[in-house]
């Protein structure tokens, strides 16, 4: 795209006489191929002045024609380059009269969406005598800052992919020394994706009240209502209830969202017992408990209501129980649809893998441990 290369190639520029009746993708592709690979502005001018009006008259969209051209056999320009060239010429048809080297304008046209931001960068580059690397760094850093801003505008670390890891638990949510407390950021992300304004939320295993803290502290969730239960309530917001004995004490069809963070003992074996011998028993015990809990979820949820559960597989010696899969089957048996799966890798401090591996080593067997929980979400029809 260097100016030098552009000058060199202007001699080779095609005459680009393109009449409506001559319109042919193959012909355009041939003409485009005669452009110098670095000659982006001329290429953009050809696309904007000649190709686009003709394509429009033929009833084609701009991107459609660019895609057709770039898929012609032998064409040396991919769609992305054609698009960038078109943008470059559209934004800077007067590039030759401008004060900065052309490469600045190519970067601005293809990396900065808004005209006012492009103008601002141009002004700064002139004023502070930026090099092209300075401009690129500034655009990159500003983009990064903008993404961080967007992420934190809700007051927590919003995750946009399905692996949620957090270096530390946000100290504002839950009680720091509570055994089994979940990172508040996980609950906040679950509420962000699976609840809406005014929803009624129930947490049957409330523990240290992490969910209530999220709703109470973060303005984004203030308009949700919640009810917390636990077999051993530790604060006044939590009501005493043993879900295995008395289910979820809510009216049928009244709840929008249930967050299930069951205690580890519901799925993990007692390390002193021989899991291999009791594998089937552990599975049967799990099914018994969760069948009842899921039936209760189905009863109290409204139609369209959702339930999320934090669950992980159990490994022991050569054996393995895929609890996430078991729980999925149970929800499906109740007519639920699976609508979300998120991976929750453990921090090394949370990981029981080393202990499991240690026990296995003593027993002389190769063994894996679980280092990743899953957050599964289901919707009632």
Ligand X SMILES: C[S@@+](CC[C@H](N)C(=O)[O-])C[C@H]1O[C@@H](n2cnc3c(N)ncnc32)[C@H](O)[C@@H]1O
Cα dihedral across residues 7, 11, 13, 16: positive or negative: positive
Contact region for ligand X (CB under 6 A) — 114-122, 215-223, 235-243, 344-352?
235-243
Is there binding between residue 261 and ligand X (CB under 6 A)? yes
Contact region for ligand X (CB under 6 A) — 46-54, 74-82, 205-213, 354-362?
205-213
Least separation in angstroms between CB 118 and ligand X: 47
Least separation in angstroms between CB 244 and ligand X: 4
- Specify the residue, 34 or 239, whose C-beta has the smaller distance to ligand X: 239
- Specify the residue, 183 or 328, whose C-beta has the smaller distance to ligand X: 183
Is there binding between residue 244 and ligand X (CB under 6 A)? yes
Is there binding between residue 270 and ligand X (CB under 6 A)? no
> Which tokens hold the place of 236?
């006044």
Q: Are 205 and 260 in contact (CB under 8 A)?
A: yes
| Backbone phi and psi for residue 309, each to the nearest 5 degrees, phi listed first | -135, 140
- Specify the residue, 55 or 293, whose C-beta has the smaller distance to ligand X: 293
Is there binding between residue 288 and ligand X (CB under 6 A)? no
Q: Are 108 and 122 in contact (CB under 8 A)?
A: yes
Least separation in angstroms between CB 147 and ligand X: 28
Least separation in angstroms between CB 219 and ligand X: 21
Exposure class string for 313-331: b at 16+ Cβ within 10 A, else e: bbbbbeeebebbebbbebb
Residue whose structure tokens are 């970067």: 107
Cα–Cα separations (whole angstroms), residue 62 to 82, 83, 86, 147, 340: 11, 9, 10, 29, 36
Q: Which of 78, 263, 335, 345 binds ligand X (CB under 6 A)?
A: 263
- Specify the residue, 100 or 231, whose C-beta has the smaller distance to ligand X: 231
Is there binding between residue 243 and ligand X (CB under 6 A)? yes
Least separation in angstroms between CB 105 and ligand X: 53
- Specify the residue, 292 or 340, whose C-beta has the smaller distance to ligand X: 292
Determine whether 138 is exposed, middle or buried from the number of CB atoms within 10 Å of its CB (0-12, 13-18, 19+).
middle
Is there binding between residue 180 and ligand X (CB under 6 A)? yes
Least separation in angstroms between CB 256 and ligand X: 18
- Specify the residue, 244 or 288, whose C-beta has the smaller distance to ligand X: 244
Is there binding between residue 207 and ligand X (CB under 6 A)? yes
Least separation in angstroms between CB 218 and ligand X: 15
Q: Which of 87, 189, 208, 308 binds ligand X (CB under 6 A)?
A: 208
- Specify the residue, 195 or 210, whose C-beta has the smaller distance to ligand X: 210
> Which tokens hold the place of 332?
């499906």
Cα–Cα separations (whole angstroms), residue 255 to 115, 185, 200, 225, 227: 47, 23, 5, 10, 10
Determine whether 357 is exposed, middle or buried from the number of CB atoms within 10 Å of its CB (0-12, 13-18, 19+).
middle
Is there binding between residue 182 and ligand X (CB under 6 A)? yes
Residues in CB range of 113: below 8 A, 6 or more apart: none
Q: Are 2 and 36 in contact (CB under 8 A)?
A: no
Cα–Cα separations (whole angstroms), residue 137 to 1, 97, 131, 274, 335: 19, 25, 10, 58, 52
Residue whose structure tokens are 């209530």: 212
Is there binding between residue 239 and ligand X (CB under 6 A)? no
**What gap in Å lies between CA 307 and CA 317, rounded to an integer?**
32
Three-class SS state of 338? strand
Is there binding between residue 348 and ligand X (CB under 6 A)? no
Least separation in angstroms between CB 259 and ligand X: 8
Is there binding between residue 50 and ligand X (CB under 6 A)? no
Is there binding between residue 181 and ligand X (CB under 6 A)? yes
Is there binding between residue 138 and ligand X (CB under 6 A)? no
Contact region for ligand X (CB under 6 A) — 4-12, 93-101, 226-234, 362-370?
226-234
Is there binding between residue 44 and ligand X (CB under 6 A)? no
Applying CB under 6 A, the residues found at the interface with ligand X are 174, 178, 180-182, 204-205, 207-208, 210, 230-232, 241-244, 261, 263
């Amino acid at each position: 795209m260097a100016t030098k290369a552009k000058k060199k190639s202007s001699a080779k520029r095609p005459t680009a006489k393109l009449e409506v009746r001559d319109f042919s993708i193959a012909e355009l592709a041939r003409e485009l191929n005669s452009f110098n690979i670095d000659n982006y502005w001329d290429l953009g001018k050809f696309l904007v002045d000649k190709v686009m009006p003709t394509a429009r008259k033929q009833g084609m969209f701009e991107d459609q024609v660019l895609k057709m051209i770039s898929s012609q056999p032998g064409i040396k320009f991919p769609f992305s380059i054609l698009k960038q060239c078109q943008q470059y010429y559209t934004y800077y048809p007067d590039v030759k009269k401008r004060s900065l080297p052309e490469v600045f304008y190519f970067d601005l046209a293809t990396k900065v969406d808004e005209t006012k931001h492009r103008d601002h960068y141009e002004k700064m580059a002139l004023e502070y005598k930026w090099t092209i690397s300075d401009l690129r760094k500034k655009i990159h850093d500003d983009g990064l800052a903008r993404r961080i801003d967007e992420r934190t505008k809700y007051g927590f670390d919003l995750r946009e992919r399905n692996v949620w890891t957090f270096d530390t638990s946000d100290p504002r949510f839950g009680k720091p020394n509570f055994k089994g407390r979940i990172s508040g950021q996980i609950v906040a992300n679950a509420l962000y994706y699976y609840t809406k304004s005014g929803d009624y939320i129930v947490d049957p295993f409330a523990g240290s009240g992490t969910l209530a803290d999220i709703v109470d502290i973060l303005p984004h969730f203030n308009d949700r209502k919640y009810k917390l239960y636990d077999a051993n309530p530790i604060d006044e917001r939590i009501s005493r209830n043993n879900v295995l004995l008395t289910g979820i004490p809510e009216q049928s069809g009244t709840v929008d969202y249930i967050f299930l963070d069951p205690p580890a003992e519901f799925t993990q074996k007692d390390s002193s017992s021989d899991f291999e011998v009791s594998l089937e028993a552990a599975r049967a015990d799990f099914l018994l408990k969760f069948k009842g809990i899921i039936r209760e979820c189905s009863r109290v949820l409204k139609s369209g209501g959702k339930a999320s559960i934090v669950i992980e597989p159990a490994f022991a010696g050569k054996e393995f129980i895929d609890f996430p899969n078991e729980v999925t089957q149970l929800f499906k048996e109740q007519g639920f649809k699976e609508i979300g799966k998120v991976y929750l890798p453990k921090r090394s401090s949370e990981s029981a893998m080393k202990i499991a591996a240690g026990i296995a080593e003593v027993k002389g067997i190769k063994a894996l441990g679980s280092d990743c929980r899953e957050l599964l979400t289901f919707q009632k029809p």
